[in-house]
Chain A
């Protein structure tokens, strides 16, 4: 019988600790599949964040090193400057990348660091209990916007990917989602393309992934999938935001 589905080599045999319906586990698997397919397992260094995915090294079977909250792009810079042969990906939440780590991210992109950021936009701070993130949608209730995000007071959901696209050093930026089989396939393709641009030494790449957090959104998993289409993707439109890699699609 032909085997059509199995655990990627780059994923350890540890069961995920994520909540049911959480996007992190799907995204982990996609990254691991791409690492396998591109034969990167023995040159990859992953930088997970403080956040729900802080234990990502329990799952990825590649070298990994912890970063301080938001400093992943600086850590990746240090790695690539000292050891350019490494393949480096950061894995960052929206609080991490778009609030506390804004400066590090923008400047790494602007320097065109040869790194890839996998940016998980779940519109909340998951790990700390569902507080407002910079990406929290207008009127959305979180534990620190109990009456809904009031843009007059709390500002607007930030479009960090569009901001990053303005830097000359960023070569590939795409926003995807993991709320349907089709979107999951597109996400994998985007990760692959981002990784390839790093391997080709072109510059900074980032894939922003709209990812369900049913727990803090207080929704059933299926409802959270629908909410991404109906609400989140309206504010954060899916698609390629910037591509100056000059390459055709990876597959």
Chain B
């Protein structure tokens, strides 16, 4: 199955009841999968919206009434969704947003890129908020993380972003789905479904009293701290006796793995830290690594975005190099291997 279809199937199995989308390459197979497989399910709904703005606001509506709901797009469309994501975050409504990102800025290219890291991990829209950001790097992870995204969204009443890219979306990989679709889509218990047998409720964030909004900001912040403590995930690869640690996420981490295997064969001691949650970022793991390793190489398919989080975590306790390929260029493992060995020798590690 293609990566995009995997997300669709996993979403249906996670009980996604409503999907709202707008065509954009390289994620169209996901929208098409939902049109074919979700729209006809009992009690479920697929809508091809008139824009990404409309799609994310439909997600907001479906989430209000307690449905598990999702939208997907690629970079330019995700920019349009930021308005709605900010409202979802403010109203503490769960939703899953998939970004199979592509080269930017502007209309950019349709090839895989990681240049939306800042947008995804810094909130993206207006106001003080965060979203959980999951970065899969294989077909199996697309399935597993899609399920996890719905669970996390409900658990913390927060929008969750799956940050993939065009390559992951198009790749054909075998996959095992670990969940069966529920008979009936679940309905969140605190949903807004009419004031039957209870006083009426309002879901609003606008207030004329700054102190009220300040309190909302504080309560969001406390939840974000809880998420940081409980949900930060990462993968450490060949980290035990590494002298140089590569830090990479998503598809770049997959390319880097290949590269590391090559240089290991030549006797270089190189490992990798792969953040799986980009927010919360595994800062504590980076910090503790710096007790053993002093050389870091951040590799991203952009001009250097996650590197800022690595530097923040290291606070000077390590030397950080960077290799980036923006614009939708996908480097090969051997290219990355060359960069790794060059830095390894330059830094006097051998």
Contacts and interface: CB of A to CB of B under 8 A. Distances in A.
A63 B192 contact: yes
B67 interface: yes
B65 A64 contact: no
Chain B interface extent, by class: 35 or more
B57 A75 contact: yes
Given A43-B196, A68-B83, A81 B45 contact: yes
Contact of B54 (A45, A57, A63, A103): A103
B193 interface: yes
A45 B65 contact: yes
Interface residues of A, number: 36
Contacts of A63: 192-195, 200-202
Contacts of A65: 64, 91, 192, 202-204
Contacts of A41: 195, 200
B65 to A, nearest CB: 4
Interface in B288-325: none
Nearest to B83: A68
A138 B289 CA distance: 69
A31 B61 CA distance: 21
A71 B194 contact: no
A45 B60 CA distance: 14
Contact of A57 (B47, B53, B204): B204
B57 A64 contact: no
B69 A67 contact: no
B206 A76 contact: no
Nearest to A106: B50
B195 A75 contact: no
A82 B54 contact: no
A64 B202 contact: yes
B188 to A, nearest CB: 11
B10 interface: no
Interface string A71-85: 100111111111100
Candidate in B47, B200, B201, B206 with the most chain A CB atoms within 10 angstroms: B200
A79 B59 CA distance: 9
Contacts of B53: 71, 74, 103-104
A104 B39 CA distance: 21
Contact of B58 (A57, A81, A87): A81
A83 B193 contact: yes
B119 interface: no
B125 to A, nearest CB: 10
A39 to B, nearest CB: 12
A43 B197 CA distance: 11
A95 B45 CA distance: 30
Given A45-B194, A82-B66, A83-B193, A71 B17 contact: no
Contacts of A68: 57, 83-84, 87
B49 A74 contact: yes
A71 B82 CA distance: 13
Nearest to B191: A83
Interface in A51-103: 54-55, 57, 60-68, 71, 74-83, 86-87, 103
B195 A77 contact: no
Given A43-B196, A71-B84, A83-B67, A50 B57 contact: no
A150 interface: no
B69 A82 contact: yes
B331 to A, nearest CB: 39
Contact of B200 (A61, A74, A83, A107): A61
B195 A78 contact: no
A111 B58 CA distance: 13
Contact of B57 (A42, A62, A71, A106): A71
A35 B65 CA distance: 20
A66 to B, nearest CB: 4
Nearest to B68: A82
Contact of A66 (B59, B67, B206): B206
B18 interface: yes
B64 A44 contact: no
A65 B49 CA distance: 21
Given A44-B195, A62-B194, 17 more contacts: A44-B194, A55-B206, A64-B201, A65-B192, A65-B203, A66-B202, A66-B205, A68-B87, A74-B53, A74-B60, A74-B61, A75-B57, A77-B58, A78-B60, A81-B18, A86-B193, A103-B50
14 contacts: A45-B65, A57-B202, A65-B91, A65-B204, A66-B91, A68-B57, A77-B54, A78-B62, A81-B58, A82-B65, A87-B194, A104-B50, A107-B50, A107-B54
The 5 closest A-B pairs by CB, nearest first: A78-B61, A57-B202, A74-B57, A78-B58, A82-B67
